[in-house]
A = this chain, B = another copy of it.
Amino acid sequence: MAKAARTAISPTRQEDYPQWYQEVIKAADLAEASPVRGCMVIKPWGYALWENMQAALDRMFKETGHENAYFPLFIPMSFLEKEAQHVEGFAKECAVVTHHRLEPGPEGGLVPAGPLEEPLIVRPTSETIIGAMFAKWIESYRDLPLLINQWANVVRWELRTRLFLRTAEFLWQEGHTAHATSEEAMVETRRMLDVYARFAEDYMAMPVIRGEKTAQERFPGAVSTFCIEAMMQDFKALQAGTSHFLGQNFSKAQNIKFQDPQGNEVHAWTTSWGVSTRLVGALIMTHGDDDGLMLPPRLAPKHVVLLPIYRNDEERQSVMEYCRHLKRDLERVVYDGAPVRVLLDERDLRGGEKSWYHVKRGVPIRAEIGPRDVAANAVFFVRRDLLSEKRTMPRDEFLTRLPGLLEAMQQALLDRALALRDQNTRTIDRIEEFREFFTPRNADAPEIHGGFAWCHWSEHPAVEQAMADLKVTIRCIPLEGVGPDGSATPGKCLFTGGPSTGRALFAKAY
């Protein structure tokens, strides 16, 4: 492999951040565009990462009392129309099924035939179809709470797509719950937001800000929407998960009623919450560097890759034998409650090419095993986030210390992401400073500027207008204790001078 650039990925993040993102996905072989407009193909390495995310989240959902179920892909058009704001929010991006077969056309080829009486929408989200089932299932307060989750594909017709971040079809989970009281539904909404925050920080090593969306950014049909927001390495915000308190909006539209202990018929209170394959994009942009992907150990499809190095058949034999035994013993080591995942790469490739292959794919620990290591009963290895720190360790010590090495890397990634966010977060009280903060300064890296700004605000339309040319939005109103000290104290709106009850988080966003 001709390696002209000093980094494995070209362009670098500084040179062209959006293009760097695409190149990392390509170099790590995570996904690619498909011949179907807006739809991506998730390749094995990317899918294995998503499977690990799924497994961790699924465990957390089950621990909090939720059960998985599966509901139809199709939603009758009339169902979508039941909640006025909901349909308005999704009508512009619906894939519509109108026919149920193909037949030979008058000019040869096939044409759609068998028109449906009522068009079907490919689910963009499932509140309406799941709500219709909830209305059948719920009769009494004894049936509540009803705590359901679905892992599924959904479709929202997008014209400007980006792999993982915005695609017409994506994979996600959607939780849907019904409760007897407003309070219980709100507790659930906040509980699942906390689950998402915990997953982001403990598994993805991605720090997040928990907060509530302003009215403009609410989920269509929700009473309130909560979110987690993360800072990417271009200092933009990425909304990584949302949890919606739906009040009685959907239960009234869909007749989800129960008899309370006093015998009264009452509408249930519902919630919904979801995260998607967008998290893979968030992970890439949080930890990737100019040499490619960097995987937090807890989610890495492989923790360790073993690369045998030899010059002739004799060396090959002893190195391979050593590697196979090492692999077997490594797989008996437990990390994060499960056996360490090891790849022995036996392919016939040049050593440098092979090393960079795994660097770009983000494997946490790369061990290169040559005759010298075999002779010394040692392991030569490099941590993906410390490429210049080459280390050699006695074999037994490596086996013993591996869980600690992985956990140290997991923690180091979180610390680094936290430091980046802290360095690029400001409390701003002057409009000039705000404008300056969000205006590109470095012509060489026009994409990387700004950050998170905590500012006083009000609901006046002038606020949105003032930010429009900067492409800045209010990401969220922080939950209690989440913003910087004093951010919950009243002040003056940065844009109108009017009264503000506290600071909100401002940023450019994906």
Interface residues, chain A, with chain B CB atoms under 8 Å away: 34-36, 39-44, 47-48, 50-51, 67-77, 79-81, 87, 91-103, 109-110, 112, 114, 119-122, 129, 132-133, 148, 152-153, 155, 157, 169, 171
Whether the Cβ atoms of A94 and B101 lie closer than 8 Å is: yes
Choose one: B77, B132, B155; the contact of A102 (CB below 8 Å). Answer: B77
Interchain Cβ contacts under 8 Å between A and B, 28 examples: A34-B71, A34-B132, A35-B79, A35-B132, A36-B75, A39-B73, A41-B70, A41-B133, A42-B70, A43-B69, A44-B67, A47-B68, A47-B69, A47-B70, A72-B169, A74-B169, A77-B110, A87-B110, A94-B100, A94-B101, A95-B97, A95-B100, A96-B98, A96-B99, A96-B100, A96-B112, A97-B97, A122-B122
Whether the Cβ atoms of B101 and A99 lie closer than 8 Å is: no
Choose one: B44, B103, B120; the contact of A69 (CB below 8 Å). Answer: B44
Closest CB in chain B relative to A44 CB, distance in Å: 4
Closest CB in chain B relative to A107 CB, distance in Å: 14
What chain B residues lie within 8 Å of A110 (beta carbons)? Answer: 77, 80-81, 87, 91
Whether the Cβ atoms of B92 and A101 lie closer than 8 Å is: yes
The 4 closest A-B pairs by CB, nearest first: A39-B72, A44-B67, A42-B70, A96-B99
Choose one: B75, B98, B101; the contact of A112 (CB below 8 Å). Answer: B98
What chain B residues lie within 8 Å of A112 (beta carbons)? Answer: 96, 98, 119
What chain B residues lie within 8 Å of A148 (beta carbons)? Answer: 44
Closest CB in chain B relative to A169 CB, distance in Å: 5
Whether the Cβ atoms of B101 and A93 lie closer than 8 Å is: yes
Q: Which residue of B lies closest to A42 (CB)?
A: B70
Whether the Cβ atoms of B153 and A76 lie closer than 8 Å is: no
Whether the Cβ atoms of A129 and B73 lie closer than 8 Å is: no
Whether the Cβ atoms of A169 and B47 lie closer than 8 Å is: no
Q: Which residue of B lies closest to A148 (CB)?
A: B44
In the docked arrangement, what's the CA distance between A112 and B121, Å? 10
What chain B residues lie within 8 Å of A91 (beta carbons)? Answer: 101-103, 110
What chain B residues lie within 8 Å of A93 (beta carbons)? Answer: 100-101
Whether the Cβ atoms of B97 and A96 lie closer than 8 Å is: yes
Whether the Cβ atoms of B73 and A169 lie closer than 8 Å is: yes
For the A-B complex with A73-B155, A122-B122 known, give 17 more contacts whose Cβ atoms are closer than 8 Å: A35-B76, A35-B79, A36-B75, A43-B69, A44-B69, A50-B70, A51-B68, A73-B122, A74-B169, A81-B110, A91-B102, A91-B110, A92-B101, A93-B101, A96-B98, A97-B97, A101-B157
In the docked arrangement, what's the CA distance between A36 and B80, Å? 13
What chain B residues lie within 8 Å of A71 (beta carbons)? Answer: 34, 41
What chain B residues lie within 8 Å of A74 (beta carbons)? Answer: 36, 39, 95, 169
Closest CB in chain B relative to A139 CB, distance in Å: 14
In the docked arrangement, what's the CA distance between A129 and B36, Å? 9
What chain B residues lie within 8 Å of A114 (beta carbons)? Answer: 157
Q: Which residue of B lies closest to A109 (CB)?
A: B81
Q: Which residue of B lies closest to A34 (CB)?
A: B72
What chain B residues lie within 8 Å of A102 (beta carbons)? Answer: 77, 80, 87, 91-92, 94, 96, 121
Closest CB in chain B relative to A470 CB, distance in Å: 30
